[in-house]
Amino acid sequence: MRLVIKIGLVLVLGVAVVTLLGEGPGYVLVQVGPWVLETTAALGAVAVVGLLVLGWGVWGVLSATRRIPQRIAEGRSRRSQRRTLELLQNGLLALERGEPQKAQRLLIQGAELAEAPAAYYLEAARAAYQAGASDQAEAYLDRLQAGWEADDPAGTLLRAEIEREAGRREHALTLLADLEHGPHENSRVLERLLQLYRELEDHEAVLRILPKARKAGVVGSDEADELARAARGRALEAARLDGDGERLERLWKGASRRERNDPRLVGPRFRYLLDQGQSEEASRLLEQALRRNWLGPLVELFLALPEAPGSARELLERLEGWREGHPKDPHLLTVLAQLAISAQYWGKADQYLAEAAELEGLSPELLLRIGHLYRQRGKTDEALACCRRGLAALDQSGGTTVPALAGPPHG
């Protein structure tokens, strides 16, 4: 309509200019039925322009009048949106302040006004749970999932969180298990699953989900490697205790070359080989691991080998070959001292004990073992000094200890 009016204005102005500037004034004759209107071209042009302007004004008034209901509706919608956003904001703030009942009331008011109430029901369920109203929380979650997309995990995640905090970890895991194999990998789902598997000590499930968790950014590369080694070591130990050689071999073969040097993995396989009477294979396992990557705690496993009486001297000579390359390894020195005592090489035993005790940064376990060996040698003062250092280090570490890898020393 505006385009037509503009074209008409241009034509009228053109005619007016031509008429006013031309040689003759021209005239306009308009006949409608018995009515005849005759005037000059200039006056006619002015009249047409006036009619067009008047029509334009009337059209604008009619258009504005027609849009009044729409504008009223838009205004109401904006006011409603502002109100719902205020309710959501105040509800979340109340939840953070530790006022779950007030938060629940505000969020439900917002849900009744909002066009998309899913977020309101989700947070209202969280507030109801914190207020101790578990039934209401379930009802809000039912409303949430009834009006939301079926594959959205938000409601299921909150249900699982409620079950976990209530101590029902198996129920929480059941809720989340299907989401693990959904069409889209959700980082929050993977994070909760990883947490639940660790709490339930399902080590093989931890190993299964870690690659996905690493890819989704739930855990960093270094943390994922550490979790994998810890989980595989515990899974290997569980397989050994169950006597499940097939599962143990599968877990061992699934380990990377770097993981196979970790004492937490070598220890269970070493003890499994000893359980099966394969002491030579167990010894080779240790030597190969130490040649690939030296780790002092692995040396302690040699003490668990079921050697014949008098073989402590032979084992001492074998392990002394490692001393040149690792002269200040506290684990090696402690093992050498223990073997020297068993072989009754008193001078060597005292030498190795003195060298080990002089080292700084020893763990509480090593200090207590050195103190025990000093007591076997009848050196009470040195034994007490090491025990005091061990207890002090234990207090500084918060009382956390690491189980010994090897069995009791043999004679």
- Give pLDDT tens digits for 303-357: 888 764 468 888 898 899 899 899 999 999 999 999 999 899 999 999 999 999 9
Contacts 24+ apart (CB under 8 A), 146-154: 147/117, 147/118, 148/118, 151/182, 151/183, 151/184, 153/179, 153/182, 153/186, 153/188, 153/189, 154/118, 154/122
Q: Which H or E run includes 49?
A: helix 41-96
- Give pLDDT tens digits for 160-216: 776 776 677 777 777 677 777 665 567 888 888 888 889 888 999 999 999 988 988
Nearest to 359 by CA among 406, 391, 397, 327: 327
Nearest to 200 by CA among 172, 233, 228: 172
Most confident of 6-20, 144-158, 253-267, 337-351: 337-351
- Give pLDDT tens digits for 109-127: 776 666 666 667 667 777 7
The tokens for 216 are 């989704």
Q: What is the pTM of this model?
A: 0.59
Contact between 65 and 54 under an 8 Å Cβ cutoff? The reply is no
Q: Is domain 310-411 annotated with CATH 1.10.3720.10?
A: no
Q: What is the distance between the alpha carbons of residues 216 and 246, in angstroms, rounded to a whole number?
A: 32
Q: What is the distance between the alpha carbons of residues 269 and 182, in angstroms, rounded to a whole number?
A: 36
**Range name among 131-135, 269-273, 380-384 with the lowest pLDDT average:** 131-135
Contact between 347 and 326 under an 8 Å Cβ cutoff? The reply is no
Q: Where are the domains of the chain?
A: 149-219, 310-411
The pLDDT score that the predictor gives to residue 291 is 86
Q: Is 310-411 the same fold as 149-219?
A: yes
Q: Is the pLDDT of residue 373 over 60?
A: yes
39 DSSP 8-state letter: E
Note the CATH architecture for domain 149-219: Alpha Horseshoe (1.25)
pLDDT band at 406 (very low <50, low <70, confident <90, very high): very low
Q: What is the DSSP string of 144-206?
A: HHHSS-TT--HHHHHHHHHHHHTT-HHHHHHHHHHHHTSSS--HHHHHHHHHHHHHTT-HHHH
